[in-house]
Amino acid sequence: MKNRKMMVVGFIAAAAISAALSSSLFAKNNVTGPAETSVEASRLESLAKFTKVLGIVEKYNVDGLTIDQLIDKSLQGLLSNLDAHSTYLDKKSYDNLKSQTDGEFGGLGITVGMRENALTVIAPIEGTPADKAGIKAGDVILKINDKATLNMTIDDAVSLMRGTPKTPIDLTIVRKGSAEPLKFHIIRDIITVESVYTRTIGGNILYIRVTSFDKKVATDVKSSIKKHAKNTKGIILDLRNNPGGLLDQAVELTDLFVDEGVIVSQKGRKKADDVSYSATKSATVTHLPLVVLVNEGSASASEIVSGALQDLKRAVIVGEKTFGKGSVQVVMPVTESEAIKLTVARYYLPSGRTIQAVGVAPDIEVVAGEIKNHNKSFNIKEADLKKHLENDLAKDDGMLDVTEANATNKTIITTDQLNKDIQLKEGVDIIKALIIVKGK
């Protein structure tokens, strides 16, 4: 490693020494033309400046850092100053990224990003330690244990939050609406994610929850739709607190609901890097009424799906404005143990609008919360009358009360559960209206 970096510096120094000779040669021969000569000269001057600063720091810095450390810090500074998502991955960071890709790791279960230079929770992953502790989308992480997150990179923060399962960690959180910072004591655990699960509502509405976009999302959703096809008249797709994942899964999931049209396109620096992803009629599995639930924890792939379905007039989007991450990162290995994560393009929805720093605004905005029931002090119903007709269900002693049975059935969502989630309740009401309209 050390030899490699010494060779890099040696190359830079050699380039700088030859700058004057090269400029003279270009001036005499004029092989490449004035414009290209100017660019080359500027490049060499910049490399010479970098080499000079590197040499000064190596010689006089109070901590006496090695050339290896200086190069690493230079690369970290270069990538982190490009944008909030580009970064240099040393061996530890690269290994962490690989473990996350494998789908199981020790940590808290939150996805973080940079918003206005603050380390912000995009979303807690459902069922993880962070979710159970009460961490919410939009929370700003002020401290990790006793370390302030100011000027901390995302990868450094993730590295601190990950660790051996069953070990503790303290987070200091700033939350909108709270007068003082909140402190959370969380125990790390193995993070495994159930990306797709389904429930039924009222017997004819299929509720599909997608928590993240791993490599099986589209297949699992397709199977769920086909499994419940006989009785389903409408679908609710819940993408709240879904931080994103694989682009191809976002495209394939959207394709299950639309016959044609551009789903998403990405545009980079070079025309050759521009890519467009379109729907195919053969992949479509349903034309049933569709509602998509989103909130500020819906990011990246979630925004592609919700934004595309909105632009293509295929779904009603309900909830709150999404996070606004519409950039494309690729991981490029530099050595066997090091890599860079670089932003190479931006996503664009079918209408041509961008997601980046804007997000997807819902068609119907509904703030998270629950429905408050106000019990009336005086209320007479049919059952209160002296000679009311008895309910047939009450006569059958062997039959369970419907409400009681539903409360223990994890395959359905009850009325009580709906009343505790006003966004979902609004989505159900909209689906019911769409089913009625479609039936006419």
* Residues labelled as active-site residues: 300, 311, 325
Beta strands 339-348; 290-294: pairing state: unpaired
Q: What are phi and psi of 336, to 5 degrees?
A: -65, -25
Question: Quick one: how far is CA 140 from the chain centroid?
Answer: 16
Three-state DSSP at 24 gives helix
Report which secondary-structure segment, H or E, holds 328. Answer: strand 327-333
Tokens of 347: 């996503």
- CA 235/CA 205 separation, integer angstroms: 6
Give residues with Cβ within 8 angstroms of 205, minimum separation 6.
232, 233, 234, 235, 236, 428, 431, 432
- CA 137/CA 148 separation, integer angstroms: 20
- CA 270/CA 247 separation, integer angstroms: 20
- CA 427/CA 271 separation, integer angstroms: 40
Beta carbons of 77 and 163 less than 8 angstroms apart: no
- Taking Cα atoms as reference points, which of 364, 347, 366, 358 lies closest to residue 308? 347
- Taking Cα atoms as reference points, which of 393, 269, 256 lies closest to residue 327? 269
Phi and psi based region of residue 66 (left: phi greater than 0; alpha: psi -120 to 50; beta: remaining): beta
Q: What is the DSSP string of 145-202?
A: TTEE-TT--HHHHHHHH--STT-EEEEEEE-TT-SS-EEEEEE-EEE----EEEEEET
Residue linked to tokens 């660790």: 163
Long-range contacts of residues 117-120, Cβ cutoff 8 Å, at least 24 apart: 118/149, 119/149, 119/152, 119/154, 119/157
